[in-house]
Copies of this chain bind each other. A is one copy, B any other.
């Protein structure tokens, strides 16, 4: 199962990279992802891929497979660590900050974590500068479609969890227009859970480029660009103040560059 899921996450990283580079090429840009491998001192490592292009001002697609022992302090916060502090985790995570304020930013990630227990987690959410009802509907429908095709997934509760999670209490603002978020998928049928996680990846691979292509050539002016940079400031606030993955990574000595790859190329306050 470890091999299966890790191979899938790595494959999906490759497919996402190919997809975004193809969008750059179609726009007449020869921007490519730069890949950087990193090793985790405690075990494992990953490959960080960052593109700074024309359509995508900054896009990051990370793969990681890490293993080792949780610190005593951290161990208590996760299930399945009663008998042993050992863990294995693999995943793929994506954050895209498009150059045009007409194109929504997006985040996606899926992961598989094994302690004494084994579970999948992940999610995807869309952050437009100004919400577009058609885009929002298309994005939500794609995620709903992936969930509805798999009995192990519960779209309604995943959608609600996403709205609850991606919220800035100090601003009383949502980060974006939501999506889905699930933290501990373990139906008892690992292959069924994994099949859903794979489909979610394929749905994301398919849907986001459709939003990009629909808007990448729309004109915009300074006011929209300024609004985008302010919106990105909120994104930074969320990730550094609230995001559990970011804080977890920084506090457990993860790879700083890979963790903070999610931060926008330019933001304003």
Contacts and interface: CB of A to CB of B under 8 A. Distances in A.
A264 interface: yes
Interface stretch (A26-34, A106-114, A208-216, A233-241): A233-241
Contacts of A233: 263
A126 interface: no
Interface in A179-208: none
A267 interface: yes
Contacts of A240: 236-237, 240-241
A138 interface: no
Interface residues of A, number: 21
A229 B256 CA distance: 18
A268 B269 contact: no
Interface string A237-269: 100110000010010000010011001111111
Nearest to A266: B268
B260 A250 contact: no
A182 to B, nearest CB: 26
Contact of A266 (B170, B171, B247, B267): B267
A59 to B, nearest CB: 13
A268 B58 CA distance: 11
A265 B247 CA distance: 24
A54 B252 CA distance: 42
A264 B256 contact: no
A231 B67 CA distance: 33
A269 B237 CA distance: 14
Closest 5 A-B residue pairs measured CB to CB? Answer: A240-B240, A263-B269, A170-B250, A170-B256, A266-B268
7 contacts: A58-B269, A236-B267, A241-B241, A260-B269, A266-B268, A267-B267, A267-B268
